Each structure stands twice: as C-alpha cells, then as structure tokens.
Amino acid sequence: MAKIFVERSGAITTIVMNRPEVRNALDNEAIELLGDAFRAFEADDEALVAVLAGSDGAFCAGADLKEMSKGASYKAWAGSKNGTLKAPLSKPLIAAVEGHACAGGLGISLYCDLRVADETAIFGVFSRRWGVPMSDGTTVRLPRLIGMSKALDMLLTGRAIDAEEAHQIGLANYVVAKGQARDEAEKLARRIAEFPQIAMCSDRQSAYAQLDMSLEDAVLAEAQLAQAAKEQEAQSGAARFAEGAGRHGSFEEEGKP
C-alpha cells in the first residue's frame, strides 16, 4: 500500500496519509511523498481545494520515532529550504482529523487552513516526553492560531486536547460525529470550491501576508491583491445580486454556497 495516496473528485483532491500500523506516523519517505502530493495539487488547475486525512481512524502521530531511533536523519518539515510544511499552499487545504494529531501530526493539521475534527480527535505535543523538538512550524503557527497562553500550555505540558476543548480554543473549526471528519471536510471543500475563486484566494492570501506586515502595509497589500477580483469577478457578482440572488438573508443560490 502506498504511504500517501490521492483521490480526486471534480475540483476536490483528497490526500491520505496511509501508515495505519503506526497511526500514520511519517518517515522520511512519507513526508517527501506528502510534499509531492501537495505540489501536484498546486500544479493542477482543475483542483481548487484539497482535504488532508489519515487512514484507519487516525490522522497522524508525527514523525516516525522508530526510524529516528535507528539513526535516520530527522529532517525539518518546515524550517528548511524545501521543507514540506514551509509555506502555505496557494489554494485552500482542510484537515480531516480523526484520532491522534500529535507532535508532527499536530504540525501538519496547523499547516492546513481549517480543521474538521471528529469526536475521537486528540491533539497534543506528545513528543515532549521523548525530547524531540518541533521543527514542523508548530511553535510558530500554534500561538498565532490560539494565542500564546494556550499554545504554551500545550507546548510545555504535552497534555492531550480533545475535540471539544480544541473547538473551544479555536484549534478545531468544526467538530463532527465519529467517522465523519473526511466526509464533512469534503462537503466543506465542495462549498468553498463553488465560490468565485479569484476573490476567495486573494482574501486568503492577504490574511496570511498581513502576519508579517504593519497595519498600513497590510491594508495596501489587501487592495493590491483584491484588484484582479475587482476586474474579473466583482461586477458579475454584483449583477447577480442586483437580479435578486441572496435576498432575504439567503446565502445560497441555485447550487452555489
């Protein structure tokens, strides 16, 4: 069985981490294959949104510590020139989390734009017990996502965060029934894929870019990023509204979100 496999359905790409015997922990080969899958998604003009899932009721248990214990080099998943998790993709990526998303698996979930967790989901920096540091972007993305205080709690104690608490602190965007994370994540992906893409992607890009900018520079960058959507999508969208779409508080129109 492939360590990483990809399934496609229209505009949606689903990437599955597939090492169920080790709760989908990733060895060096698997993290490289995951990077290949991300790059293929990026290069596919017909693929608009991706879902990242794990097989057999687990998301990802992080780096393969058994491989590391045998002397294999431990590559930085984020903080290296070609790190798989170095920078966000150019298109939305949604994590479908069942079971454990711990250590590097937590980092992979943080790399995604949104996290759909089922009731069995467990997040945590479990590598704290073994002296293995985070080099997958977790110490950067986690504080930005949930705040420094809550992030330090997770980083220092290594304690398990269940789906309910993850939702309360903003780590999980949605909590769904057991076994439904992938299905619900793919439904969400389809809704996002139905939006006019230029405006949605430029807003997403602006949100990421502003993290490293002053307020003034960020607002200017937003205006620049919005220009293409103004020129290519906004007028036709406004025309649909003027014709009656979306009236009376409805957010749906003939198959669109």
Question: Residue 113: left if φ>0, alpha if ψ -120 to 50, beta else—which one?
Answer: alpha
**At residue 253, does pLDDT exceed 90?**
no
Report the predicted TM-score, pTM, of the whole model to 2 decimal places.
Answer: 0.88
Q: Tell me the three state secondary structure of residue 86.
A: coil
Domain ranges of the chain: 4-193, 197-249
Burial class from Cβ neighbours inside 10 Å (0-12, 13-18, 19+) for residue 223 reads: exposed
Contact by Cβ (8 Å): 134, 102: no
Q: Is the dihedral of CA 131, 132, 135, 141 positive or negative?
A: negative
Q: What mean pLDDT, rounded, does the chain reach?
A: 89
In order of 44, 87, 153, 194, the CA distances from 250 in angstroms are: 32, 36, 41, 16
CATH code, residues 4-193? 3.90.226.10
Q: What is the rounded average pLDDT of the residues 210-231?
A: 78
**At residue 65, does pLDDT exceed 90?**
no
Sorted by sequence, the CB contacts under 8 Å of residue 129 that are 6+ apart come out as 158
* Entry field: residues in the chain: 257
